[in-house]
Structure 1
C-alpha cells in the first residue's frame, strides 16, 4: 500500500483551505420565480423566467459585494400553473426553503392569495399582477412592476372614445381576478367618457368557442368589444369576430399585446386588436433596442410582454442590495421605496403601497402580424 507523501498531503490541505475560504467569501441569494410554466400561458411564464435568468447572469458577472462577501444569485423557478391553490403551495415552498425574493406571480388570481403567505414569511414579491386588490392589502415588501388595471383600463377607454370615436362598446371578461378587474376598470371609465356599455358577457380562461357570446353582441352593434383576459382566448375570439362579420375592434390589456396574438389569431388580429401595453415604446429607445438584441441572442427569441420588466426588477434589487449594503429584505425594500431605478422599461419608483408611480402605458395594434404602437399615456 502506498501512502501519500507529506508534501502532497499539505498541498491537498492547502487546496481545501483555499476552496473553503472562497466559499466563505460568497453569499448565496436565491431569487424565486412563480409563474405558468405549463398550460396555455406557458409562453408568458417562460418569457418571464428568461427575463429573471438574464438579469441573474448579469448580476453574477458583476460580482456585487455586500458585507465583504460576493453575492451569488441563484434562480429557483416553480410552476404555479396560474392556479391559486398551486400558487399558495409554491409560496409556502419558497418560504420554507429560504427564498426571500420572488418574481411573480404572473396571474392576479394567484398573486392575491399567495402574497399573504409571502408577507407572513418575510419575502419580497415583485409581480406583474394588475388587479388593484393586490396592493390594497398593505404588504410593505410587495411591488407591482407594471401599470395597474386602473391605469391600463382607463387608457384603453380614453383611446376608444377619443381616437376610435366609439359610442357603444360591449365588454367580455374571463372571470379571473385579472380579466374581471381590467374589464371593470374599462367599463367604469368608458361610462365616464360618455360611451354606452351595451352588453356584459362572461367566459372562462379555458374557453375557445365564443360564437354564442359574440352572436349576442353582434345584435347590439357595438363599435368596439373589450376583452378582459389572456391571449390564448383573445386570439380565437378575434378569428370568430371576423367569421361572424362583426364590424368592431377587439380591445384589451397588455396580455393581448403578446406576439402570441398573431401566431394564434393570424390575419384576424391585424388592424382589429387594440391593446394597452403597460410599458414603453421599445423601438424608440436605444437602450431598449439593445436589450431586445441581447435577449434574442441569449434565448434565440425576442422578449414577450413581461420579460423586460422582470429583468429590470431583478437588476433593481441587485443594485439596491449593493447600495444599501444589505441583503435583508426590509432594508432592500426600504431603499427601493426611497430611490428610483432607470431600467429598460423606463423609470421605476413606487408609492407607499408598492404601486409603480407614473407607469407608462402604450396603446398598440397589429399590422402585418407585428405590434404597432399608436399612442402613449
Structure 2
C-alpha cells in the first residue's frame, strides 16, 4: 500500500504539517483482525536515484504484505508514506514532523547526510527508527542516538579507500579537491585531505562549489593556476534533477588538464561521459557496495523490480529494498511495535539481504561494508576493483 504526499511550496507544507499535528492520526484498517502500520520514506524524489530507492521500498513492502507479519498475535500490513524533502534541511524537518504526526513506526531515509542529521533528533524524541539507505557522512551515526542506522558504509572508511586509490594506484602527486559545501562533501574532502597528507600526497588547492550551480569558473581558474594531475570532487554533482558534472568536465576538456578525476558518486549522465571521452579524461569513482551483477540474488531482484518499475537501478536501490526487509525482520524478532524493542532487535540482527549479510555496530553503522571502484569506459560505469574492509 502507498500514500504519496508531495507539495512544492514550503509554506503550504508548513500549514499542512500544522494541521496534521493538531489532528488525531488517521487509521487505515484492512480488516478487524489486521493492523496497518506506516513506514515513512524521504528523499529528493525528483532525482532518479531517490525515485528508484522509493520504488524498491514499495517492492519490499508488497512482498512482505503477501505474507503479512504477525506481531503480538495480530496480522500487520505495511504501507508507505513517501515525501519529497528536496534534499533541503528545512523541508526535511517538516517532513519529519509530518511522519511523526502520521505515527510511522520507522523512516527509510533521509537521503543525504545533512537532511538525515537535521531530523534524527525529531525521530529520536518520537521513538521512530531511522534507517538511511544512502547517508554516508560519518557524522550521522556519531550523535549518540540509539535510533539511527545506515545501509551503506560511512565516509570515514570510503575517503581512505579513495585516497589510497588516488595515491597508490593512480600515482597522483598533485591533487586538487573540490567540495560542494554540504555536510557530506565538506567532511569527505577533509577526511580525504588528512589521508593524502599522511600518505605522501600533496593537496595543491581546494575549492567549494555548490551543487546547486553549474558555474565552475572559480574552480577551473584554480585548476589552471595549480596544474594538478588529479581532481577529487567530494559531494554531489546534481541537485533538483539537474546534473552539473558536464559543466565541470567540459571546462577540464578546454583546459586540457588534468586527465584524471575521481568522483564521490557514480551518478554521471551521458553528456558528461561524452565530454570525458572527447577530452581524454579518465573518470573514476568509489561507490558503496559491490557491483550490482555480483549481488546475492541479483537476477531475481532485477527481474522483479524491472517488471514493476521504470526507474534505473543504482547501488542505493537494493540498499533501500533491504532496509525495509531488515525492518520487517526486526519487527518479527521484537514481536512488538514498541520503539526500544525494535531498536534492540535491529542492534542484534543478522539478515541475508540482496546486498549481502547485514548487521550493525553499536552506533548503527553497517558492519564490514564493501566498496567498488568504477571507471567510465566506452560510455558506461565499469567496475574495476572491489574493496572489502
| Normalised TM-score (structure 1) | 0.88
Equivalent of 2:34 in 26, 37, 61: 26
Cα–Cα, structure 1 residues 281 and 44, in superposed 2: closer, same or farther, change >3 Å?
closer
Question: Are positions 1:51 and 2:56 aligned together?
Answer: yes
Q: Cα–Cα, structure 1 residues 273 and 90, in superposed 2: closer, same or farther, change >3 Å?
A: same
Runs of 4 or more above 3 Å deviation: none
Once the two structures are superposed, residues 248-284 of structure 1 have per-residue CA deviations (whole angstroms, 9 ceiling, x without a partner) of: 322122xx213xx133413234562211111112223
1:153 is aligned to 2:159: yes
Deviations 1:183-231 (A, max 9, x none): 1111111112211001011111111021331132133222210111213
- 1:103 aligned residue: 108
Say whether the 8 Å CA contact 1:238–1:269 is kept in structure 2. yes
- Matching residue of 2:178: 172
Pick from 153, 162, 168: which aligns with 1:162?
Answer: 168
Q: Secondary structure at the match of 1:226?
A: strand
Q: Is the contact between residue 105 and residue 337 of structure 2 (CA under 8 Å) also seen in structure 1?
A: no
2:276 maps to 1:265: no
Deviations 1:30-55 (A, max 9, x none): 110111123xxx22221221121111
Cα offset, 1:290, TM superposition: 2.8
Q: Deviations over 1:52-107 (max 9, x none)?
A: 11111111112222222221110001111111111111111111110121011111
- Aligned pairs (5 A) from 1:110-259: 110-127=115-132, 128-231=134-237, 232-253=243-264, 256-258=265-267
Which residue of structure 2 lines up, in the alignment, with residue 35 of structure 1? 43
Deviation at 1:328, TM superposition (A): 2.4
Aligned counterparts of 1:350 and 1:246: Cα–Cα separation in 2? 42
Larger Rg: 1
Q: In structure 2, what is the Cα distance between the partners aligned to 1:162 and 1:228?
A: 19
2:93 is aligned, of 82, 88, 96, to 88
User: Partners of 1:264 and 1:343 in 2: how far apart?
Assistant: 34
Contact kept? 2:111, 2:135, Cα under 8 Å: yes
Listed one character per residue, the Cα deviations across residues 9-32 of structure 1 (whole Å, up to 9, x for unaligned) are xxxxxxxxxxxx971211111110
User: In 2, distance between residues paired with 1:248 and 1:290?
Assistant: 39
Per-residue deviation, residues 117-172 of structure 1 (Å, max 9, x unmatched): 11111110011212211111111011021111111111111111111111111000
Check whether the contact 1:169–1:222 (CA below 8 A) recurs between aligned residues.
Answer: yes
Q: How does 1:59-74 map to 2 (within 5 A)?
A: 59-74=64-79
Which residue of 1 is the match for residue 317 of structure 2? 307
Q: Which runs of 5+ in 2 are unaligned?
A: 1-28, 238-242
- Given that 2:41 and 2:83 are in contact with CA atoms closer than 8 Å, whether structure 1 keeps it comes out as yes
d(CA) in 1 for partners of 2:370, 2:64 = 26
**Cα offset for 1:233?**
2.9
Residue pair 1:295, 1:301 contacting (<8 A) in 2 also:
no
- Give yes or no for contact 2:178–2:234 (8 Å, CA) kept in 1: yes
Of residues 66, 82, 89, the one that matches 1:77 is: 82
Q: Determine helix, strand or coil for the equivalent of 1:24.
A: coil
Structure 2 CA distance for partners of 1:22 and 1:33, relative to 1, 3 Å: closer
Q: Which has the higher helix share?
A: 1
Partners of 1:297 and 1:173 in 2: CA distance? 38
Aligned residues: 351
Q: Secondary structure at 2:306's aligned position in 1?
A: helix
Contact 1:111–1:134 (Cα < 8 Å) also in 2: yes
Matched residue of 2:48: which SS? helix
Q: How far apart in 2 are the matches of 1:286 and 1:310?
A: 15
Report if the CA contact (8 A) 2:296-2:355 is conserved: no
Taking the aligned partners of 1:301 and 1:86, their CA distance within structure 2 comes to 24
What is the alpha-carbon root mean square deviation over aligned residues? 1.9
